[in-house]
Amino acid sequence: MAVEFRVLGAVEVRVDGNRLDLGPARQQRVLAALLLDANQAVTADQLIDRVWGERAPQRARLTLYSYLSRLRQALRTAAGETQIVRRSGGYELTVDPSAVDLHRFRSLAARARTAMGAGDEDEAARLFEQALAFWRGDACRGMETPWFDAQRETVHLEWITTVLDRGTSSYAAVCTPNC
């Protein structure tokens, strides 16, 4: 069973190519907040801040627990080893980083920069292209809280840097020593 988690663009989970229903918008925000910090504990207070910002309802914690429960059930059914676990420091989405588009983008871009530094411009160009192919638009599109806005800006800057590095790599690959 192939599972893909997408946060570059609209947040989606795809299982064998089919889109998984992630429930209401705020429940999707909970998943996105955990995906951005995959394999790291996130406290309930952090999740509440990420999902609601300054507009958290009185019963935000109970609502959060409900969202986490529903997401656990959906992931258990569809996503195999990916799960939301309770840790002493909060909640952690345990997932293979290669299943998350943002983490694959970052990994490929880092590998491309290493190849570029080693003088392998063709490999660097190939890896930059693979990384940029994951881009479907602004990260977590439509999720509007101060935390998501900051994350979106950070990821957008990473994308710009990768585009510029790809251009440098492509230039170096075609430029003769006399350029």
pTM of the model: 0.88
For the chain, strand residue ranges (E) read 3-6, 12-15, 18-19, 83-87, 90-94
Cβ contact 83:94 at 8 Å: yes
Look at the domain 3-98 and name its fold.
Answer: Arc Repressor Mutant, subunit A (1.10.10)
Which tens digits make up the pLDDT trace of 48-98?
999 999 888 889 999 999 999 999 998 887 766 788 999 888 999 999 999
How far is Cα 130 from Cα 36, in angstroms, rounded to an integer?
Answer: 20
Query: Looking at residues 34-54, what average pLDDT do you find?
Result: 95
| Residues ≥6 apart with Cβ < 8 Å to 25 | 142, 143
How far is Cα 17 from Cα 8, in angstroms, rounded to an integer?
Answer: 16
Domain spans in the chain, listed from the N-terminal domain onward: 3-98, 101-174
Query: Looking at residues 162-169, what average pLDDT do you find?
Result: 87
Query: Looking at residues 123-140, what average pLDDT do you find?
Result: 95
Query: Looking at residues 22-39, what average pLDDT do you find?
Result: 95
Return the pLDDT at 170.
57
